Chain A
Amino acid sequence: MSDWIEVAKMEELPRLSARVVQFDTVKIAVFRTSQDAVLAVKDRCPHRGGPLSQGIVHGNLVTCPMHNWRIDLATGEAVQPDQGCVRTYETKVEDGRVYLRLSSAAANANSCVEHA
């Protein structure tokens, strides 16, 4: 079975915004940038756990609504001088549909070790 899961149509994901995908208890924020890149990270800021999905998106970055940390959505890394990272998930867009890869083996697309 392919482990890609369709989560939304592209038109349900407006530019410069995010949708929250809930899988069991895990919330994943799926973003669309102004350049139409679709990027997904766990919906939890590495700083104090703020919901990244609710932040303002600019370039490949999102600014967390809680304390203005900026997270690079492509790498999951916080932008200097902040330090920390958030888990990223693989995404793809085919025929105007957005897919997310969740299988546990491939899920951790970057090497971020999560803090509880």
Chain B
Amino acid sequence: MQKMKLVMVGNGMAGMRTIEELLKIAPGLYDITVFGAELHPNYNRILLSPVLAGEQTVQDIVLNSMDWYAENGIHLHLGKKIDKIDRKNRVVEAEDGSRAEYDRLLLATGSNPFMLPVPGADLPGVISFRDIADVEAMISASAQYKHAVVIGGGLLGLEAANGLKQRGMEVSVVHIAPWLMERQLDEPAARLLQKSLEDKGLKFLLQKQTAELVRGESGRVCAVNFKDGESIPADLVVMAVGIRPNTELAESAGIHCHRGIVVNDTMQTFDPRVYAVGECVNHRGVAYGLVAPLFEQAKVAANHLAEYGISRYQGSVTSTKLKVTGIDLFSAGDFTGDEGTESLVFSDPGSGDYKKVVIKDNKLVGACLYGDTINGAWYFDLLREGTDISQFRKTILFGQHHLGDSGHGPADHVAALPDTAEICGCNGVCKGDIVKAIVDKKLFTLDDVRAHTKASSSCGSCTGLVEALLAHTVGDYSVAPSKKPLCKCTEHSHDEVIAAIKDKGLKSMRAVFDFLEWKTPDGCASCRPALNYYLLARWPGEYQDDKHSRFINERAHGNIQKDGSFSVVPRMWGGLTNPKELRAIADVAEKYRVPEVKVTGGQRIDLFGVKKEDLPLMWKDLSAAGFVSGHAYGKALRTVKTCVGSQWCRFGTQDSTGLGVKLEQLTWGSWMPHKYKLAVSGCPRNCAEATIKDFGVVCVDSGYELHVGGNGGIKVRVTDLLCKVETEEQVMEYCGAFAQLYREEAHYLERTAPWVERVGLNYIKQRILEDEKGRVELNERFKHGQRFAQIDPWKERAEGVDATEFQTIRISA
């Protein structure tokens, strides 16, 4: 059968990204032809600034080499500008007369720089800053001439000015507004920026209007005259006053355009065979000029060209960074604010730091940073996700370092780290490896870096550092999807999956795969454990736990160690033990020649180095002595740490040990989205460290303080105080209700600390404190689930359940 023909006009970043996405999901569906007006294969336009500044070369910034097009069977026509589309006969025609037929047409013609309509704008020596040819013209001018004038003090103009200065020219920047980058920065930040650029030797003429460009004797531009009568010398004038979507071709073909080629949410134009992406597009009234949204558009267009027909582009929030070495600024959203908003500002002119965040209804709506921008990515996340920030409003300006394991917030400036610095502790990946992969393999997104280096693909706590490295290496480039799919097997987010399982009554993994149209037959190692958990948590007693969808630790009920052996941690209720138990542990340790015995931080005993085959035998002995599994290996209730409390301690106010034992008896065996720890301290001296636990109780004279969302680990997060209650019964009820809320609503592998931050403490208070009936029901559901969960997995396996898991088949020669 003949393949369908796809023609793309405009060999630039958005168009080629679409082709790449398309080849990924539907290789071989189309016979592809690409026309580009420039003489170069697709290159990274963003990096023209460093090329101009002499920090990179044109070769460095090529994204798709000529070989790449050939390998992918793409017919590439360089230097050919399409000037006609015959929509009736479905043919495009280039200026030189070459033609190509299409079944689908993709327009990605980018935008044109706007040239001020002043006399002399067409003189030699007056150029824009858009493509390689412009950069080459600027570089050659810098070698011959002295005076450069850049008109426009926005992102592009400042990057051009910086580059020309680096090339040795005297540069003046002319700007019409009262301060630089007025669309991205407020006045104080812009003044700091201006000062540091002045320190680099740039001159600024603000609130100046250009009247005319003057022709010199040689015919080339020689000066710029302003409306106020002033004049400055100029051998080179760079216009960077804005861009206009390039719709000339589309308009000539009668395709509806209005400040861009108008498309719907599938990136389709008014002619259903014609799609458009990139800066040439007007989507819901917005034309974007940064790559992150364009890449999202590319993904959607590819999905529809591939005839999958399931994704929609719904617009993007964008953020800005300036790529001038040594200058850090970040801006996103509404950074000026209005009547309904409040602004928090930190300003330290001495160190050149300025931070401002704009808040509306307890949510971040804008941010503007100068100097220390390390928290930009975090603010941007808060903004996009609409996170409730009321709990950390007081410290928000100081960044995320005080917060928990939520996976963002680089602790230090990554640029300053040596190449050997380890970034991802989980996978042992160093800064040098990551930067090399980003450069060599031309990686753009966090996902790419994860796939190629494995950095940040595990615990995720280094995600912020990796994002910072990415931004540092290639500019702020990460695509910003409004929702994150659970994994690559699906388009659906965690929340959508959780809701579907509940609302549609999906009770098996197969039902989830079918109903939500999973893309892979058996899922993958990311989604299967998540789905198994969601199903188990939602349908206790009905859903049959699927051990093949569990990680090895949970499947074997022990922690796999680096030599392949396992560790065994029997449960010690509330950290209490007695001579009989200790003797039994000593006996098994000797009998199975356990090489190491250690007391854990969770107040129990860990037996290391057990062979997998010995596990069921050892469990049998432990079970006979009355022990059950400590679930030290699971996304489950781990331990309840206690202090000695009123029984022995002179400060004790309540029986913290006894309460700890009761809480552990209530909660043990429960599967959770992630590990879950409890503690009970007998007085505010808090010897059991209850304020860094998922659920901590601090006893006081008049009752019990309940604390939630704490975390030890890499990033310590102190709990939030949920409430104070008066009786042990209440502690038990609130404990069950909070655990159940977390079990039902958190994402798999999300600890309570980031979950509490994401949904906000107010929400949790509302569900647990204000909604009394809801609390009782949550607790009931928790207790119902426990009826099925509190079956000791060790005992079952000691009695022969799942025997094949633990047996090696031996054969001899």
Q: Which chain A residues have a beta carbon within 8 Å of chain B's beta carbons?
A: 5, 7-8, 12-17, 19-24, 27, 33-35, 51, 54-59, 61, 63, 65, 67-68, 70, 81
**Which of A8, A51, A56 is close to B525, meaning CB atoms less than 8 Å apart?**
A56
| Interface pair A22/B808, CB less than 8 Å apart | yes
Residues of A within 8 A of B427 (CB): 67
Report how far A23 CA is from B810 CA in the complex, Å. 6
Known: A51-B564, A55-B552. A14 touches B804 (CB 8 A): yes
**Which of A7, A14, A24, A35 is close to B548, meaning CB atoms less than 8 Å apart?**
A14
> Per-residue CB proximity of B447-458 to A under 8 Å, as 1/0?
000011010011
Q: Does B812 lie at the interface of the complex (its beta carbon under 8 Å from any beta carbon of A)?
A: yes
| Interface pair B452/A65, CB less than 8 Å apart | no
Q: Which chain B residues have a beta carbon within 8 Å of chain A's beta carbons?
A: 426-427, 441, 451-452, 454, 457-458, 520-525, 528-529, 548-552, 555-556, 560, 564, 804-805, 807-813
| Interface pair B452/A56, CB less than 8 Å apart | no
Residues of B within 8 A of A58 (CB): 520-525, 528
Given A19-B807, A59-B520, 18 extra CB contacts under 8 A: A7-B809, A12-B804, A15-B548, A17-B548, A19-B808, A21-B809, A23-B810, A24-B812, A35-B521, A54-B560, A56-B548, A59-B522, A63-B524, A63-B525, A65-B560, A67-B454, A68-B457, A81-B451
Give B171 Cβ to nearest chain A Cβ, in Å.
Answer: 43
Residues of A within 8 A of B813 (CB): 23-24
Report how far A65 CA is from B559 CA in the complex, Å. 11
| Interface pair A59/B804, CB less than 8 Å apart | no
Known: A12-B804, A16-B522, A68-B525. A57 touches B548 (CB 8 A): yes
Residues of A within 8 A of B560 (CB): 51, 54, 65
What are 27 A-B interface contacts by the 8 Å CB criterion?
A: A7-B809, A7-B811, A13-B804, A14-B804, A16-B549, A17-B548, A17-B805, A19-B809, A21-B808, A21-B809, A22-B808, A22-B810, A24-B812, A24-B813, A55-B525, A55-B552, A56-B529, A56-B548, A56-B549, A56-B550, A58-B528, A59-B520, A59-B522, A63-B525, A65-B551, A67-B427, A68-B458
Instruction: Choose among A27, A35, A65 the residue with the greatest number of B CB atoms under 10 Å from its CB.
Output: A65
Report how far A82 CA is from B452 CA in the complex, Å. 7
Give B433 Cβ to nearest chain A Cβ, in Å.
Answer: 13
Report how far A56 CA is from B521 CA in the complex, Å. 14
Give B444 Cβ to nearest chain A Cβ, in Å.
Answer: 14
Instruction: Choose among A15, A22, A56 the residue with the greatest number of B CB atoms under 10 Å from its CB.
Output: A56
Give A91 Cβ to nearest chain B Cβ, in Å.
Answer: 13
Give A101 Cβ to nearest chain B Cβ, in Å.
Answer: 12
With CB as the reference atom, state the residue of chain A lying closest to B525: A63
**Which of B457, B522, B804, B807 is close to A34, meaning CB atoms less than 8 Å apart?**
B522
Give A20 Cβ to nearest chain B Cβ, in Å.
Answer: 5
| Interface pair A21/B551, CB less than 8 Å apart | no
Residues of A within 8 A of B452 (CB): 81
With CB as the reference atom, state the residue of chain A lying closest to B448: A81
Give A52 Cβ to nearest chain B Cβ, in Å.
Answer: 11
| Interface pair B804/A19, CB less than 8 Å apart | yes
Give B732 Cβ to nearest chain A Cβ, in Å.
Answer: 36
Instruction: Choose among B441, B457, B804, B813 the residue with the greatest number of A CB atoms under 10 Å from its CB.
Output: B804
Give B560 Cβ to nearest chain A Cβ, in Å.
Answer: 6
Report how far A101 CA is from B766 CA in the complex, Å. 63
With CB as the reference atom, state the residue of chain B lying closest to A62: B525
Known: A56-B548, A67-B454. A22 touches B524 (CB 8 A): no
With CB as the reference atom, state the residue of chain A lying closest to B437: A81
Residues of A within 8 A of B808 (CB): 19-22, 27
Report how far A35 CA is from B520 CA in the complex, Å. 13
| Interface pair A59/B521, CB less than 8 Å apart | yes
Residues of B within 8 A of A15 (CB): 548
Residues of A within 8 A of B522 (CB): 16, 33-34, 57-59
**A-B pairs with lowest CB-CB distance, top 4:** A63-B525, A54-B552, A16-B548, A56-B525
Give B252 Cβ to nearest chain A Cβ, in Å.
Answer: 43
Residues of B within 8 A of A68 (CB): 454, 457-458, 525
Report how far A22 CA is from B613 CA in the complex, Å. 13
Report how far A46 CA is from B488 CA in the complex, Å. 24
Report how far A57 CA is from B549 CA in the complex, Å. 8
Report how far A17 CA is from B548 CA in the complex, Å. 6
Residues of A within 8 A of B555 (CB): 54
Report how far A21 CA is from B808 CA in the complex, Å. 6
Report how far A16 CA is from B523 CA in the complex, Å. 11
Residues of A within 8 A of B556 (CB): 54
| Interface pair A34/B521, CB less than 8 Å apart | yes
Report how far A33 CA is from B452 CA in the complex, Å. 26
Residues of A within 8 A of B457 (CB): 68
Report how far A70 CA is from B522 CA in the complex, Å. 14
**Which of A16, A22, A55, A70 is close to B811, meaning CB atoms less than 8 Å apart?**
A22
Report how far A57 CA is from B523 CA in the complex, Å. 9
With CB as the reference atom, state the residue of chain A lying closest to B522: A58
Give A89 Cβ to nearest chain B Cβ, in Å.
Answer: 12
With CB as the reference atom, state the residue of chain A lying closest to B427: A67
Residues of A within 8 A of B805 (CB): 17
Give A96 Cβ to nearest chain B Cβ, in Å.
Answer: 15
Residues of A within 8 A of B551 (CB): 56, 65
With CB as the reference atom, state the residue of chain A lying closest to B527: A58
Report how far A1 CA is from B551 CA in the complex, Å. 40
Report how far A92 CA is from B520 CA in the complex, Å. 26
Residues of A within 8 A of B458 (CB): 67-68
Report how far A7 CA is from B809 CA in the complex, Å. 7
With CB as the reference atom, state the residue of chain B lying closest to A35: B521
| Interface pair A23/B523, CB less than 8 Å apart | no
Give B547 Cβ to nearest chain A Cβ, in Å.
Answer: 8
